[in-house]
Amino acid sequence: MFDTEIAEVYSVNQELDIGEEVLMKLRLLLFILYQKLKKAAKKNAAYRSFLANMQVKIMIKTDDGKHGRLFIFDRGKLSALTGGTHPYDAALVWSDSDTAFKVLSSRSDEQTFRAAADGKLKVDRSRHRACISGRYGDRTDPGKTRRRVRLFGYA
């Protein structure tokens, strides 16, 4: 009986170790993504020009909100915050860290679409911001943004 209890504890610990390993891989992958985006913003003139007009916060996180990274694009500047609880404009919400790591590291559009079709990936738009692109209004005047967004058919 004592051996059975030890085996159960060992099995649970192995599952936790595997889960923590996948979580660490996801954190590392999101950190590498941030570094690549930051490097591209410094070295690639076309990308830098594209970012110059953006003011948006994009979150990549797990469904439970415990793990994630917020990418902040602010008129040519890029920064990031760890954690899945920060306010955002739009988010890629993964059902779990294992799925997120597998799909993001695969670089396969097909796997991304399959994850979305299976309900393992959701795109969430924050309710506190009217739109993502700065083209439709001035961020300093939320009422103006809402009016322009409604004109284009967005709620």
**One digit per residue, pLDDT tens: the chain, 155 residues?**
444 444 443 444 444 455 677 778 888 889 998 999 888 888 888 888 888 888 899 999 999 888 899 999 988 888 999 988 899 999 999 999 889 889 988 888 899 899 999 999 999 887 555 444 444 444 444 444 443 333 333 33
pLDDT tens readout for residues 121-148: 999 887 555 444 444 444 444 444 443 3
How far is 10 from 3, CA to CA, in rounded Å? Answer: 10
Q: In this predicted structure, what is the pLDDT of residue 125?
A: 84
* Helix, strand, or coil (residue 13): helix
For residue 65, what pLDDT is reported? 84
Regarding pTM above 0.75, the answer is no
The answer to whether 130 and 146 are in contact (CB under 8 A) is yes
Q: Under a CB-based contact definition with an 8 Å cutoff, are residues 88 and 127 in contact? A: no
Both structure tokens of 107: 């670089």
> Would you call 43 helix, strand, or coil by DSSP?
helix
Q: Are 113 and 119 in contact, with CB atoms under 8 Å apart?
A: no
Can you read off the two tokens belonging to residue 113? 């679409």
Identify the structural domains of the chain with CATH numbers, from first to last.
2-147 (3.30.1050)
